[in-house]
Amino acid sequence: MKNLIKLGFAALLSIHFTTATAQNKNTGNENSLLWEISGNGLSKPSYITGTFHILCSKDFEIKPKVLKALDKSENFVMEINYTDPSEMTDLQKMYQNDKKISDQLSPNEAKELDKILADYGTNLEKTNNSSPQALYALLSMKAIPCPQTEMKMYEIELLQNAIKGKKNIKGLEKVNDQMKSINNAYDLKATIAQLKLGKEYETLFKSMIAAFKNEDAQSLYTLFKDERFMNAKQEKAMLTDRNKNWVEIIPEMMRAGSSFFAVGGSHLMGENGVIPLLQSKGYTVKPVHSL
């Protein structure tokens, strides 16, 4: 479990700021990040919750209704199955890079990056063999307003509860698929551009914490639907394409047994969010305020 948490932490850091966005106009302004999925031939309801991957201990809370929904479900489904040994092997490779960063940049670009990295407590020499995901993780670490020892991972906490409850653990995608999506969205140059926005991310993070704690999906959308952080191409790679892939397999999982899905809050709403996509397939998806 210790290695699981360490690897999960690394993975979640790399995707943290790409996962808290949209609100769909057809779902209204219901303040809830937990939704019940029923109808369309399902014998039992399933649930989906939007997560905020990493929070400081002082801000961390799993609401009772979320734990009750998990308890009522047979399967616990995350974006990635952190209990799959092969997935853990791929996670370990995530930050490795066969080509040095400096070899992909001009001398002036390398010098500029070295200066940028100084704001993150490191330099190009120390990170030269890292992948863009490793650099992106630095951005997350800087923006989270507490030491690493005080951070908690929402999915990992849910996973520990699911293991105690002897749930079947599953994943919606493979590590390599997720990394491909991240690479398509944020290559080295795009990652460096994001690193320049460190202060903006710190401000964004504080506002997003408040919105998440209030289960205010509309505010999460307003805060993060900003072209400084995610353009149309990046949204397609990180959200739209993945949402559509997930909605192709979610029905099969629900038919096989009541399931509790935990995904980044960004994937719930928006024109191509998981909730409207499920609704378009004939499912009834409604916000849960208490259980």
- What's at 200, amino acid-wise? E
19 burial via Cβ count (<10 Å: 0-12, 13-18, 19+): buried
pLDDT tens for each residue of 252-279: 999 999 999 999 887 888 888 899 999 9
pLDDT at residue 17 tops 60: no
For residue 8, count other CB atoms closer than 10 A to its CB: 21
Amino acid identity at 110: A
pLDDT tens, 192-237? 999 998 888 888 888 888 888 989 776 766 676 677 888 888 889 9
For residues 239 and 25, the answer to whether their CB atoms sit within 8 Å is: no
Three-state SS at 222? helix
Q: Which residue has the higher pLDDT, 148 or 80?
A: 80
Contact predicate 52/151, CB 8 Å = no
Least confident of 85-94, 108-117, 144-153: 85-94
Residue 95 pLDDT > 80, yes or no? no
Q: How far apart are CA 47 and CA 286, in angstroms?
A: 10
DSSP, collapsed to helix, strand or coil, labels residue 285 as strand
